[in-house]
Structure 1
Amino acid sequence: MASFVITLPSRGNGGRGARPGFPGFVTDPRGAFNPFDHLTQAGRAAEIAAFHGALAPFDPQGEESLVAAASLLRQSRWLRVVAGFHPGVATPVYAAKVSASLQRFSGDRLDWRISVDLDPAVARAQGDFLEGADRYARAEEFLTVAKGVWSQEDYTYEGRFYQVLAGGFLSPLAGRAFPRVHLSGTSKEALALSARHADVHVFEPGDDIEAVDLPGVTYGLRLPVLARDDEDEAWRAARRLWSGGGGAADALPDPDPRTGLWAGFGPPDPGSAPGTGSSRAGLVGSFETVAAGIRGYIDRGVGAFLLEATPHIEETYRLGERLLPLLAKEGAHVR
């Protein structure tokens, strides 16, 4: 059964939707339409459109994802929310305590998306100077300690990066479900970490999924999509997206003839490690074409899709109304 998660904005809406100022003699105690209002509308769209969850991604220049996740959880009834962050953001005990509180308040609807391998310049700007394999060693300890204090009283741990003496949660924080852990990467260290700790391992569209063996782990896919009623309309929208991102009109990339992926969705994710490519690749076409592409990944073993589409509110409704029902109708077992 495949689950579909929509990726929501990590930065403010840049004033979009803000009301004009009133004359000085008018008192307006409501304040302007702010980024949280925009985030709330995007989360509501995801829930109404029957997405299984929403991702608040880690963005070094964006809003703090755990704060955004708390807002989304508060404003929804059943939507799962995935909060992206990196292990250097806090001690594992504090991250676990914040998350246990959110699980208690939301009925266990929080997941974690751990970004381990950041661009070195971004990591240093965040106060994190670890590099290479040390990042994965720290992430291993981070998850071990977080799970330890979550599930055990009088928990003690002494490692290379973290030490805990007689820790552990008591009531009311004890007894909640630990957040499902989303990890990614294709290096030996990344796959070893996922084998021990991941509930979902997130691939990129061009990764060789069949070459990876992670028993008991759900395979996920981060997938930008642009779907419209027919092919011509979809490619007109793709050209606008390309031009809006600064691409030259005469340099619009063609979809890969082998995979059908279009590498024109913009630069890699903020803070991603070098070597991730110069642009994100995804699916463009009619709803039927995009559904066929998603079904192909389901046949390859993918069970969770982190879909990306902008503008967030409009595209969330569009995909929920047109794409997800098509997949369900055609047997993709959409949850």
Structure 2
Amino acid sequence: MNVFWFLPTHGDGRYLGTAQGARPVDLAYLRQVAQAADGLGFGAVLIPTGATCEDPWVVASALIPVTERLRFLVAVRPGLTSPTVAARMAATLDRLSGGRLLVNVVAGGDPVELAGDGLFLGHDERYELTREFLTVWKALLEGETVTFAGQHLRVEGAKLAFPPVQRPHPPLYFGGSSPAAHRLAADCVDHYLTWGEPPAAVAQKLEDVRMRAGLAGRRLGYGLRVHVIVRETDREAWDAAEALIRHVDEEAIARAQRAYARSDSEGQRRMARLHGGSRHNLEVSPNLWAGVGLVRGGAGTALVGSPATVAARMQEYAELGIETFVLSGYPHLEEAYRVAELLFPRLPLARPTAGTEAQPVIHLSPVGDTGSVDSARPHDAPAFTLGG
């Protein structure tokens, strides 16, 4: 499994739907989260995009120098940026990071937000634009000189002066639940992402995308974007889930659902149907909780339970073909540690390893004890100092 984390550039805190327990998200905090993810062994971090988020490209650029192996899943927005400029940005960030860029293709789903950014295309038209955008973007990064005339985009003699590190281009990730989105995924991207729906629904979506990709002679990777609430016991985890929405009242839910209802995103509609705007019966599948979506757009479900329980649920998705899990939790700094400490030991992680790195050392005796270290632990046990 590849396990990614999330940078909360739209805000963070202990509770949803309230300013209580909220914390400002500045560069220092984002650096803490990114460095924690880097040191703990997360493969990448997703940086969200939208009018209520800090710009993901600027954020990624600021965090490259303070991380070592961490990769950054950064959004391109067809229609808001030209494919030639986006290709130069991608090549530059990939080069300056030493090949640590992943690209998240976001067609958009909120007509009000899109209008504010000057984009007035309908749902399927945005996917047609995205297809044209990716045709130009990929050709440029592959080293071609591009002349292209489509329904929405036109370029003449475009080319890149600097190639990316990753060839033929940084990997493309994309999520969408409509037929238009599935067609685009099958034809144009490298990894298809879905939000955390019940396994049967995820299986149906993956089957459709896989079939379409096969007809196009292509093979994709698949990922799941979902929150996670893991504690030492199932009971503690469910208590933490309830605590997360402790300050959410009915008016806050209604206000949020009105805002999300204006979206033409099929994925957002599917998230909304899971909870129906009600805080009752939020466990929509074993250990899959829809409470996040009451007041948060986009990914609105969480896997809830003990390490063994959550690992078992993740394995169920893995058996459907999910290879990458894009996780998050509130607050993101503390939960990154909790997920790594409780959940990682139970997962078959695909983590980069450096052969020259020293093995960690655990001393169970107090610092300064003169007894034999070997007598305190097995020879093959990694070790940290506890006490002293």
The answer to whether residue 345 in structure 2 is matched with residue 325 in structure 1 is: yes
**Tell me, what secondary structure is at the counterpart of 2:38?**
helix
Deviates more, 1:205-214 or 1:59-68: 205-214
Partner of 1:262: 289
Aligned positions, number: 302
Cα contact 1:242–1:252 (8 A) shared by 2: no
What 5-or-longer segments of structure 1 have no aligned partner? 15-32, 273-278
Partner of 2:323: 303
Alpha-carbon separation, structure 1, partners of 2:244 and 2:237: 10
Q: Which amino acid aligns with 1:287?
A: P
Runs of 4+ in 1 over 6 A off after TM superposition: none
Cα contact 2:279–2:294 (8 A) shared by 1: no
For 1:4-39, what per-residue CA distance to the aligned partner results, in whole angstroms no more than 9, with x for missing partners? 11111123569xxxxxxxxxxxxxxxxxx9701111
| Residue 52 (structure 1) shift | 0.7
Summarize the Cα distance change of 1:310–1:257 in structure 2 as closer, same or farther, 3 Å threshold: closer
Alpha-carbon separation, structure 2, partners of 1:173 and 1:10: 29
Cα contact 2:222–2:323 (8 A) shared by 1: yes
The answer to whether residue 19 in structure 2 is matched with residue 10 in structure 1 is: no
TM-score by length of 1: 0.83
Partner of 1:312: 332
What 5-or-longer segments of structure 2 have no aligned partner? 14-23, 252-277, 352-388
Alpha-carbon separation, structure 1, partners of 2:127 and 2:53: 24
Alpha-carbon separation, structure 2, partners of 1:208 and 1:200: 15
Q: Which amino acid aligns with 1:263?
A: A
Alpha-carbon separation, structure 2, partners of 1:268 and 1:138: 30
Alpha-carbon separation, structure 1, partners of 2:245 and 2:166: 45
Cα contact 2:127–2:180 (8 A) shared by 1: yes
Partner of 1:108: 99
Kindly report which structure 2 residues correspond to 1:235-250, keeping only aligned pairs within 5 A, or say none.
235-246=238-249
Alpha-carbon separation, structure 2, partners of 1:12 and 1:166: 42
TM-score by length of 2: 0.72
Partner of 2:203: 209
Alpha-carbon separation, structure 2, partners of 1:6 and 1:175: 23
Partner of 2:226: 223
Summarize the Cα distance change of 1:236–1:256 in structure 2 as closer, same or farther, 3 Å threshold: closer
The answer to whether residue 178 in structure 2 is matched with residue 187 in structure 1 is: yes
Partner of 1:30: none
Kindly report which structure 2 residues correspond to 1:125-204, keeping only aligned pairs within 5 A, or say none.
125-170=116-161, 172-173=162-163, 176-177=166-167, 178-204=169-195
Kindly report which structure 2 residues correspond to 1:48-59, keeping only aligned pairs within 5 A, or say none.
48-59=39-50
Alpha-carbon separation, structure 1, partners of 2:129 and 2:236: 47
Cα contact 1:151–1:168 (8 A) shared by 2: no
Summarize the Cα distance change of 1:122–1:140 in structure 2 as closer, same or farther, 3 Å threshold: same
The sequence identity of aligned pairs, in percent, is: 31
For 1:201-234, what per-residue CA distance to the aligned partner results, in whole angstroms no more than 9, with x for missing partners? 0112223324322441111111111000112211
The answer to whether residue 288 in structure 2 is matched with residue 294 in structure 1 is: no
For 1:69-92, what per-residue CA distance to the aligned partner results, in whole angstroms no more than 9, with x for missing partners? 222322211111101242122101
**Tell me, what secondary structure is at the counterpart of 1:243?**
coil
Deviates more, 1:301-310 or 1:64-73: 64-73
| Residue 267 (structure 1) shift | 4.1
For 1:268-317, what per-residue CA distance to the aligned partner results, in whole angstroms no more than 9, with x for missing partners? 765x5xxxxxx812211111111111111111110111112110110011
The answer to whether residue 79 in structure 2 is matched with residue 76 in structure 1 is: no
RMSD: 2.3
Kindly report which structure 2 residues correspond to 1:17-28, keeping only aligned pairs within 5 A, or say none.
none
| Residue 255 (structure 1) shift | 4.9
| Residue 266 (structure 1) shift | 3.5
**Tell me, what secondary structure is at the counterpart of 1:266?**
helix
Partner of 1:17: none
| Residue 45 (structure 1) shift | 0.6
Larger Rg: 2
Cα contact 2:140–2:146 (8 A) shared by 1: yes
Partner of 2:302: 282
Kindly report which structure 2 residues correspond to 1:79-98, keeping only aligned pairs within 5 A, or say none.
79-98=70-89
Alpha-carbon separation, structure 2, partners of 1:89 and 1:263: 31
**Tell me, what secondary structure is at the counterpart of 2:226?**
strand
Cα contact 1:11–1:62 (8 A) shared by 2: yes
Summarize the Cα distance change of 1:175–1:54 in structure 2 as closer, same or farther, 3 Å threshold: closer
Alpha-carbon separation, structure 2, partners of 1:67 and 1:139: 22
For 1:86-138, what per-residue CA distance to the aligned partner results, in whole angstroms no more than 9, with x for missing partners? 21221010011011000110111111112214111121112111112110000
| Residue 66 (structure 1) shift | 1.0
For 1:165-207, what per-residue CA distance to the aligned partner results, in whole angstroms no more than 9, with x for missing partners? 111113x446653121111112221111111111110112223
The answer to whether residue 26 in structure 2 is matched with residue 35 in structure 1 is: yes
Alpha-carbon separation, structure 2, partners of 1:149 and 1:189: 24
Summarize the Cα distance change of 1:224–1:12 in structure 2 as closer, same or farther, 3 Å threshold: closer
